[in-house]
Amino acid sequence: MTRHLLSSDDLSSEEQASVIRRALELKAGRHDHPRPLTGRSVAMIFEKPSTRTRVSFEVAAVEMGAHPVLLRMDEVQLGRGESVSDTARVLSRFVDAIVIRTYAQERLTELASAASIPVINALSDFEHPCQALADVMTVTERFSVPSSVRVCYLGDGNNNVCHSLLLAGAKAGWAAVTVASPEGYQPNPLVVDRAQEIAGGNKARTRIDLVADPDEAVRGAHVLYTDVWVSMGEEAQRGTRLQAFRDYALTRRRLEDASPGAIVMHCLPAHRGEEIEASVIDGAASVVWDQAENRLHTAKAVLEWLVGGRS
């Protein structure tokens, strides 16, 4: 059966841990590992602009021996002159995997249902599983006992990064994932329910908390995480969103209220002076650049797992 990565929930806890272990190995010997995907090709479709996702997957494919086939929306007929399912069937005859950065999660589902090759969600409006893998890897590098780590996410809870963080954090067995967001911007209830279900099945029993008070949320946290308040496609709501999130910034004071030695994470791009203070993202507690680099190593591990057949 063809496996896909459309959601952080497509990996079992054991599979996620295995992908992270492999990513750490690939990072440690970046230019020393074999090229297990030699002779393979990976189609990369970008409906949205991209920096980290585009570069990480293209470099990952090349360093693993595969050939990336980059496709902009003005170069393909996806959803215009050709149905999504027909595109999936055609690409399945040409390449060995499809990496797609898109809008609706339903588009991914339709593509994957017709494809006979792996489809990888490089970002949708609902989830960002590749980012979550890099996040788990970064936390794993910094904390030797995941079951003791409390992660606090500040800001817009109803976004793709937060949704995947909840699912991946529960699968990683972190002690807690707390989301602090204002009324009307909490995570999707279906994602929260699924994260709690995953947490209940883990021996570590991750605690999933949704709170409104950001000061309460950061107390004792080992990881403080935030994302932009206005994502692509939300520009018309900018004034409303800035007003809603004005009390949820990741500030120096909130970092001081967290656990001693707490780290700061952001999936980028960052807007200094909005969701995060410059002194915080550029300070000693920031692991943002390690987090960004880990997008490459987790992309390699995902490609090897899905395309190379690595167990």
Q: Under CATH, which number does the domain 8-128+295-306 receive? A: 3.40.50.1370
Q: pLDDT value at position 72? A: 82
- 4, 22, 125, 131: which is the annotated catalytic residue? 131
Determine the Cα–Cα distance for residues 143 and 222; give it in Å rounded to an integer. Answer: 9
The answer to whether residue 162 is catalytic is: no
Specify which residues 68 forms β-bridges with: 42
- 9, 156, 227, 257: which is the annotated catalytic residue? 227
Determine the Cα–Cα distance for residues 131 and 148; give it in Å rounded to an integer. Answer: 22
Determine the Cα–Cα distance for residues 34 and 44; give it in Å rounded to an integer. Answer: 23
The answer to whether residue 291 is catalytic is: no
> What letter does residue 67 receive in the DSSP assignment?
E
- 4, 22, 295, 297: which is the annotated catalytic residue? 295
The answer to whether residue 227 is catalytic is: yes
Sign of CA dihedral 96, 63, 45, 128: positive
The answer to whether residue 222 is catalytic is: no
- 52, 54, 101, 194: which is the annotated catalytic residue? 101
Prediction pTM value: 0.96
Q: What is the mean pLDDT of each run of 10 residues along the chain (311 residues)?
A: 96 97 96 91 93 96 97 74 91 98 95 98 97 98 94 98 98 97 97 96 85 98 97 88 97 98 98 98 98 98 91 61
State the DSSP string of 108-138.
HHHHHHH-SS-EEEEE-SS--HHHHHHHHHH
The answer to whether residue 267 is catalytic is: yes
CATH superfamily of 131-291: Aspartate/ornithine carbamoyltransferase (3.40.50.1370)
- 4, 22, 54, 128: which is the annotated catalytic residue? 128
- 152, 257, 267, 291: which is the annotated catalytic residue? 267
Report the mean per-residue pLDDT for the chain: 95
Determine the Cα–Cα distance for residues 163 and 157; give it in Å rounded to an integer. Answer: 7
Q: pLDDT value at position 168? A: 98
Q: pLDDT value at position 206? A: 95
Q: pLDDT value at position 80? A: 66
Residue with tokens 């950065």: 101
Domain boundaries, the chain: 8-128+295-306, 131-291
Q: Is 123 left (phi over 0), alpha (psi -120 to 50) or beta?
A: left
Q: Is 276 helix (H, G, I), strand (E, B) or coil?
A: strand
Nearest residue to 208 (alpha-carbon basis) of 222, 198, 218: 198
Determine the Cα–Cα distance for residues 22 and 140; give it in Å rounded to an integer. Answer: 12
Residues 6+ apart with CB under 8 A from 309: none
The answer to whether residue 86 is catalytic is: no
Strands (E), the chain: 41-46, 67-72, 97-101, 119-123, 150-154, 176-180, 207-211, 223-226, 263-266
Q: Do domains 8-128+295-306 and 131-291 have the same CATH topology?
A: yes
